[in-house]
């Protein structure tokens, strides 16, 4: 089996959980490489529901190695809480099945606080973040003042490093008329949990090299989606990491030949949570209907997701940017009872037609979708497992997505249940 990367190819929440669950059963090593506990994967295995935020999906299966790469930002308290909750469900997590990159950046309470202060401020644009401190932690990483997992091992150095970080945070807080961070308490709290988390600390790049040599099957599990990428997404309404496939390499320490198949997860319509441009958004009854049928509420923050028609321009762009080899199309059954279904195939910008999503935020807000109308199939597709059993109009819709995006359709998902999947091209077979 080739090594596979799974990449959300819209604004996240494409239904990765089900696909990751299916693939993680067949993989030996499952790796998270970017983002943090802003992600949310719900897995149902043997009728038990597991809600994962930070831990790779492999953690709930026996005999799998789960890895959190250096590209992930880790809130140690959130991680320990997630471990505790899973242990309550009977999952065994030890330093034999969970490895965390020693050079991964930590999210600390000042990051979370700053995230919330900015979101609540009237003076900055509200991004609609998950308020988990993700952005401020990545800022400290590139600002070279972050605390990394391995820093917890050396108390003396930790104090020096925290000084550097707090020099920055306290100066911001002074401007915001907030009190200084209590350094003593921060260190005390970190020292208290350090042994609980340091036991998982490893040079992850080295471990991955060993697994590769042993021909272990590696699954790279992306979080969020390409349109939330810090460079390629709807900046500044994005998350603070690169969500494209390149991140799987830099976020773990692997070379580009490590990944043989890139699977893009794409929902049959479009959703996004948080603020920012969304050309095909339906702010009307139709949008509400899609949201209700698709149960579009965030797994992490429980926010109602904004809903709209499928934007083929955006998905094609995502496929190019991330080198997608195959699309796993999810939630086709949500569109079962719409008389007409629309797909965005271009935009109008200042009276001109364009066939790509511009980078300027102003233009992203301005573009007007050009739609192609499809006749709905008005039949149940829920639970269908064979391509030939799909209604003709559903096949036409899916085939259009394939030809417009110029990417094969690897699978079509017809319900949240794992078995309700039409498999067209098995990523394991390349
Ligand atoms: P942050 O990642 O918490 O900084 O949030 C930045 C933006 O990314 C906001 O619009 C969030 O709603 C969005 N976001 C972050 N994680 C996810 C996710 O897992 N699914 C969908 N949107 C997300």
**What pLDDT shows up at residue 300?**
74
13 is catalytic: yes
**pLDDT band for position 307 (50/70/90)?**
very high
- Tell me the average pLDDT across 156-182: 95
Is the pLDDT score of 271 beyond 90? Answer: yes
Class at the top of the CATH hierarchy for domain 4-101+202-258:
alpha beta
- Supply the CATH classification number for the domain 105-197: 1.10.300.10
Contact 307, 282 (CB under 8 A): yes
Rounded distance between C-alpha atoms, residue 380 and residue 403, angstroms: 24
Rounded distance between C-alpha atoms, residue 279 and residue 218, angstroms: 36
pLDDT tens digits for 15-61?
998 898 889 888 999 999 999 999 988 887 778 888 899 999 999 99
Q: How remote is the CA of residue 224 from the centroid of ligand 1, in Å?
A: 7
Q: Higher-confidence residue: 425 or 287?
A: 287
From the CB of 109, is ligand 1 less than 6 Å away? no
Closest-CA residue, ligand 1 atom 12, reads 274
Q: What is the mean pLDDT of the chain?
A: 95
Q: What predicted TM-score, i.e. pTM, was given to this entire model?
A: 0.96
Closest-CA residue, ligand 1 atom 16, reads 38
**pLDDT band for position 427 (50/70/90)?**
confident
CA atoms within 13 A on the CB side of 62: 1
337 is catalytic: no
Contact 391, 377 (CB under 8 A): yes
Is the pLDDT score of 228 beyond 70? Answer: yes
Is the pLDDT score of 1 beyond 70? Answer: no
From the CB of 39, is ligand 1 less than 6 Å away? yes
Is the pLDDT score of 95 beyond 80? Answer: yes
Is the pLDDT score of 179 beyond 80? Answer: yes
Q: Among the listed ranges 19-33, 78-92, 347-361, which one has the minimum average pLDDT value? A: 19-33
**What pLDDT shows up at residue 93?**
97
Closest-CA residue, ligand 1 atom 9, reads 129
Cα separations in angstroms, 55 against 173, 331, 375: 32, 25, 41
Rounded distance between C-alpha atoms, residue 329 and residue 425, angstroms: 12
Q: Where are the beta strands (DSSP E) in 73-193?
A: 73-74, 98-101, 105-106
**pLDDT band for position 221 (50/70/90)?**
very high
Is the pLDDT score of 167 beyond 90? Answer: yes
Is the pLDDT score of 94 beyond 90? Answer: yes
Mutating to test ligand 1, I would choose from 111, 134, 274, 275 the residue with most ligand atoms within 8 A of its C-beta, which is 274
Share of the chain above pLDDT 90, in %: 88
Q: Which tokens go with 416?
A: 């949240």
From the CB of 132, is ligand 1 less than 6 Å away? yes
- Tell me the average pLDDT across 248-260: 96
From the CB of 135, is ligand 1 less than 6 Å away? yes
Beta strands 326-330 and 29-32, pairing class: unpaired
Closest-CA residue, ligand 1 atom 23, reads 224
Beta strands 48-52 and 41-45, pairing class: antiparallel
Q: Per-domain residue ranges for the chain?
A: 4-101+202-258, 105-197, 265-429
Q: How remote is the CA of residue 226 from the centroid of ligand 1, in Å?
A: 11
**pLDDT band for position 302 (50/70/90)?**
confident
DSSP sequence for 269-307: SEEE-SSS--TTB--SHHHHHHHHHTT-B-TTT-PBPEE
Q: How remote is the CA of residue 183 from the centroid of ligand 1, in Å?
A: 29
DSSP bridge partners of 65? 29
**What pLDDT shows up at residue 430?**
58
Topology of the domain covering 265-429: Adenylosuccinate Synthetase; Chain A, domain 3 (3.90.170)
**What pLDDT shows up at residue 17?**
87
Q: Residue length, the chain? A: 430
Q: Select which of 21, 28, 37, 41 is catalytic.
A: 41
Closest-CA residue, ligand 1 atom 10, reads 274
């Amino acid at each position: 089996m080739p090594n596979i990367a799974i990449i959300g190819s819209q604004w996240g929440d494409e239904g990765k959980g089900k696909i990751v669950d299916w693939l993680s059963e067949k993989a030996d090593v499952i790796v998270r490489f970017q983002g943090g506990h802003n992600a949310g994967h719900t897995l149902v295995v043997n009728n038990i529901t597991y809600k994962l935020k930070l831990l790779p999906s492999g953690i709930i299966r026996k005999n799998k190695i789960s890895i959190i790469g250096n590209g992930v930002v880790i809130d140690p308290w959130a991680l320990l809480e997630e471990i505790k909750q899973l242990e309550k469900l009977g999952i065994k997590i030890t330093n034999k099945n969970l490895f965390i990159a020693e050079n991964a950046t930590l999210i600390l309470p000042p990051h979370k606080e700053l995230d919330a202060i900015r979101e609540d401020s009237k003076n900055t644009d509200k991004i609609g973040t998950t308020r988990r401190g993700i952005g401020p932690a990545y800022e400290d990483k590139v600002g070279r003042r972050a605390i990394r997992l391995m820093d917890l091992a050396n108390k003396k150095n930790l104090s020096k490093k925290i000084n550097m970080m707090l020099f920055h945070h306290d100066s911001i807080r002074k401007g915001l008329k907030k009190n200084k961070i209590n350094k003593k308490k921060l260190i005390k709290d970190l020292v208290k949990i350090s042994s609980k988390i340091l036991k998982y600390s490893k040079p992850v790049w080295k471990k991955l090299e060993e697994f590769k040599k042993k021909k272990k099957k590696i699954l790279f599990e992306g979080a969020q989606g390409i349109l939330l990428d810090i460079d390629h997404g709807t900046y500044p309404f994005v998350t603070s990491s690169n969500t494209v496939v390149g991140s799987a390499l830099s976020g773990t320490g692997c070379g580009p030949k490590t990944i043989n198949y890139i699977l893009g997860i794409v929902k049959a319509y479009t959703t996004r949570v948080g603020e920012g441009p969304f050309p095909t958004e339906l702010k009307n009854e139709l949008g509400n209907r899609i949201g209700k049928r698709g149960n579009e509420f965030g797994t992490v923050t429980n926010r109602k997701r904004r809903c709209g028609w499928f934007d083929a321009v955006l998905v094609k762009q995502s496929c190019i940017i991330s080198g997608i080899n195959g699309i796993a199309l999810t939630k086709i059954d949500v569109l079962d009872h719409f008389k007409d279904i629309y797909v965005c195939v271009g935009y109008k910008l200042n009276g001109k037609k364009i066939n790509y999503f511009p980078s300027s935020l102003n233009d992203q807000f301005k573009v007007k979708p050009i739609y192609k109308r499809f006749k709905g199939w008005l039949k149940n597709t829920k639970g269908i497992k064979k391509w030939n059993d799909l209604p003709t109009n559903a096949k036409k819709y899916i085939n259009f997505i394939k030809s417009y995006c110029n990417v094969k359709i690897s699978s079509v998902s017809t319900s949240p249940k794992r078995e309700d999947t039409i498999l067209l091209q098995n990523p394991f077979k390349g």
